[in-house]
Structures are given as structure tokens and as C-alpha cells.
Amino acid sequence: MGVLNVTPDSFSDGGRFLVADALKRRIVEMAAEGAALIDVGGESTRPGALPVSLEQELDRVIPAIETIVSLCDVPVSIDTTKAEVAAAALAAGAAFVNDISGLRFDPEMASTVAAAGGGLFVMHTRGRPESMQADTDYRDLMAEVITYLEESIELARQAGIPQEKIAVDPGIGFGKSVEGNLEILRRLSELSILGRPILLGTSRKSFIGKILAQDDPEERLAGTLATVSLGVAAGASIFRVHDVRPAREAAEIAWAICHTNQTTRDRVDNG
């Protein structure tokens, strides 16, 4: 899942793709690098980020989605917590909604996705971005994450979204400390109890920077690739990343090691 932020303030690539030519180049580049999905965001969800208006978010994401649809056949997901944005994005050609609130911030989100026949990614968070890092202590982190995601799945199913169209995300960096993020990564396989594909979003995040003493998000690729590889081993199958080609190659090698099959052997034998 390639990240395409059309925001001025995202933590890593804010402001880079607000100009049409830069946006088009990035879309073509991600498609060529092997993105299986492009995730478009028009509202930063970095810790401390303030919300933007409905109109502003729509003005950012709808043209971007229309551009993707016109340039390539890579499916699009819309990263939003607003049902009205989701509805407009799905009508413009998006196929999935990536809701960081796990259907909690907008009570109309589940029914909106269901009505459009879209797929859904639900994530665990503790509070909104502007306040989510105020409390990162948990009595049992994984139990809370799993319970929250179970409830999100049930909300989706009650609204009419088929279970096979739902994937889950533990929410790395959303209301978690460095230690909490590492615990989730160590125990990621426990999410398999939910019976849904696992989406992992660790790309360039601050916990990697803190461990590596690296303030520049663009210098966190090696740390990101370590989490992708370990994520494959733990059962994750979708990876939200800024650096598509390196992450895809890391995932393919990890998959070949962990899940060798005849197809993999044929690829290796045939060079």
C-alpha cells in the first residue's frame, strides 16, 4: 500500500504532492514500483495534528483520486475518518476506506462504506491525533487492541459490510509509546485470532527514529524494512509504506523464507 499524502503537514512527505505534476510523477512511480494499492490522505494524522474542514479535505483528495484513476489501474483507498469524504472518494473511483478510528469518529462511516460496496481497513487508536499521545499506558495493550478491532469488525458487519472486505490494523504510533509499538510488533501474530488480513503501518515512524537516533524520517528506511520483514513472519499481509519498491522486495524475500512454495521455487529456478 503506497502512501500518497496530499497534505501540507504530514510528518514525512507533507507538501510534496500538492502540485499536479509532482502528484502525477509520484503516482506513476508508485505503480511502476509495484504498489498494489495507493492510499490517499488529505488530513494529517501525525501526533498533534489538528483536524481540517470537510471542504478542505475534499478539495485535496478528490482531484488526487481522479488523477490516479486516469493514470493507472492500481486500486485506491481513501484515508479518512469522515463519512462524507469516504462517500465522495468511493464515488470518484476509490475502492477502499482506511479509517484510523476503526469506525468510531463518524457514526455514518460503516453504512456509507456498505452502501458503496467498498472494502474497509479498521485501525486501533486511542483518541484523536491532536491528543492521542497524552495517554500511552495500557494494562494489557494487545487485549485492548484486539477487543477494539473486534468491535470495529462487528460494527462493520452490522452495517452490511461483508467480513471478507475487512482488514485490521493495530495502529502503530497511534496512542502508543515506543515500548508499546515494539510490543505490538513482537506480538503481532496474536491478531490472527480476528481472522482478517493484517495491515501494518510502520513506515518512517517516530519510534524507528527514536531507536536509531534518526530525526529525519527519510533516513528511516532500513528500520522500516526490518519491521516489514518481521511483519511478514508474524502474519501481516498488507504494508502501508512510503518507499514502495524496497518494502515490496523486503516483503517478497521474507515471504519466500517463511512461506516457500512451488511458485516461489519456480521463480528462483527461472532466474
Phi, psi dihedral angles at 98 (to 5 degrees): -110, 100
**Helix axes of 178-186 and 221-234: crossing angle, nearest 10 degrees:** 40
Q: What is the largest CA-CA distance in the chain?
A: 54
Of 104, 196, 220, 240, which residue is the catalytic one? 240
Mark whether 240 is an active-site residue.
yes
How far apart CA 87 and CA 112 sit, in angstroms, is 6
How far apart CA 70 and CA 140 sit, in angstroms, is 46
Of 26, 82, 196, 205, which residue is the catalytic one? 205
How far apart CA 216 and CA 7 sit, in angstroms, is 18
What residues are annotated to the active site?
A: 205, 240
